[in-house]
Structure 1
Amino acid sequence: MQSEKDKMLSGKPYSPYDKQLAEDRFKAKEIVFKFNTRSPLEEKEKKQDIIQLLNKTPKRFYIEPPFRCDYGYNIEIGANFFSNYNLVILDCAKVTIGDNVMLGPNVALYTAAHPIHHSIRNRLYEHALPITIGNNVWIGGNVVINPGVTIGDNTVIGSGSVVTKDITSNVVAVGNPCVVKRQITQEDKVYFDIK
């Protein structure tokens, strides 16, 4: 018989009120609390908190407090990751973030999903779908990324977007729901070409 944690990690309906899952969330909350309340002078200690919390971290990354997550062990961040204030990751499923990803303030990544029909939802079941963010992605402030979404490499997601479906590589996408507005071209490079 599968545990509720196994069900959660395999995308099946599960009860988040399971004892093991509640303990896992409490452990994450303790580390997150420590991270969020440290002095700005405690950069090394804050980095160690995140290394202890997340499943995979690179040598170089920066997360501006405050930060919130459910478990931590379902989150992998790539090299040169940067997140501004108020990042929220509901990591009931795997969240994979590539190299050179920048997140604006108030970005939210939600893997948890609830049943549409109230009779099932009222029984307090949920399920979770993974989120994948490619390399060299910039996500503007106040963006929400919904369960099961993949964002391709080199893509920019405009501020305030709600991403409900996959977004391809090398595009600018924006809106609620978020849609592709245009391709990223060499002309975009010329504007900021630093020699």
Structure 2
Amino acid sequence: MTEKDRMLAGEWYCCLEPELDRLRAEARNAVHEHNTLSPDRRGALGPLLSACFAGVGEEVFVEAPFHCSYGFNIRLADQVYINAGCTILDSGRVEIGEGTMLGPSVQIYCAEHHRDAERRRAGEEVARPVSIGRNVWIGGGAIILGGVSIGDAAIVGAGAVVTRDVAAGSIVAGNPARPLR
């Protein structure tokens, strides 16, 4: 089993492995193209970045600048809007549902580094998926940690740090994010 296979299976893996380095380099090139093309040439999503993603629905728009680790773990449904400055560290699967909007500088972090300092220094980490439902609104500067699911029509307040699942239709805010209703 390769380190990529371990990563995709949600097992501990070494992120410093050459194949993963190569895949991150490909993503950096796609991100660079997206972020540096003029808006009239780029359109809603740079061509290399679009090809890099696991899936892209119709009427998806990703503002520049944008950053991701790999791209191949990101699936965007129809009418997803990602505002400027967003980062998706997609060592795990990231699915964003139809009609969902991410405010500026939203961060999604799938990787969890090892708690043991030596193992962390050796590059050991585990990837946890993130699932965001349909018609969700995530306010600017929010941070979504790996292993979290956000239900349909939920709202995440600006600056929230989401460490636990968010129920459909609920509103959460704060650090850590807690239900407001």
One fold, TM greater than 0.5?
yes
2:21 matched to which residue of 1? 22
Name structure 2 gaps, 5 residues minimum.
none
1:37 matched to which residue of 2? 36
Deviations 1:23-73 (A, max 9, x none): 111111111101100112214484423321211001211010000001100
Matched position secondary structure for 2:88: strand
Q: 1:48 to 1:119 in 2, by over 3 A?
A: closer
Amino acid at match of 1:152: G
Structure 1 runs (4+) deviating above 6 angstroms are none
Percent identity, please.
36
1:68 matched to which residue of 2? 67
What's the C-alpha RMSD, in Å, of the aligned pairs?
1.2
Once the 2 structures are TM-superposed, how far is the Cα of residue 123 of structure 1 from its aligned partner? 2.4
Larger radius of gyration: 1
Q: Distance in 1 between matches of 2:81 and 2:49?
A: 13
Q: Distance in 2 between matches of 1:122 and 1:50?
A: 30
Deviations 1:91-123 (A, max 9, x none): 001001110000100000000001122232222
2:152 matched to which residue of 1? 153
Q: Distance in 1 between matches of 2:47 and 2:79?
A: 16
The answer to whether the 8 Å contact 2:33/2:46 transfers is no
2:96 matched to which residue of 1? 97
Does 2:179 align with 1:168?
Answer: no
Once the 2 structures are TM-superposed, how far is the Cα of residue 180 of structure 1 from its aligned partner? 0.8
Matched position secondary structure for 2:29: helix
Matched position secondary structure for 1:126: strand
1:111 matched to which residue of 2? 110
1:188 matched to which residue of 2? none
The answer to whether the 8 Å contact 1:137/1:154 transfers is yes
Q: 1:44 to 1:106 in 2, by over 3 A?
A: closer
Deviations 1:146-188 (A, max 9, x none): 0100000100000000000111101110010001111xxxxxx
TM-score by length of 1: 0.89
Q: 1:46 to 1:131 in 2, by over 3 A?
A: closer
Once the 2 structures are TM-superposed, how far is the Cα of residue 90 of structure 1 from its aligned partner? 0.4
The answer to whether the 8 Å contact 2:112/2:126 transfers is yes
2:176 matched to which residue of 1? 177
Name structure 1 gaps, 5 residues minimum.
183-195
TM-score by length of 2: 0.96
Q: Tell me the matched-pair count.
A: 181
1:133 matched to which residue of 2? 132
The answer to whether the 8 Å contact 1:38/1:46 transfers is no
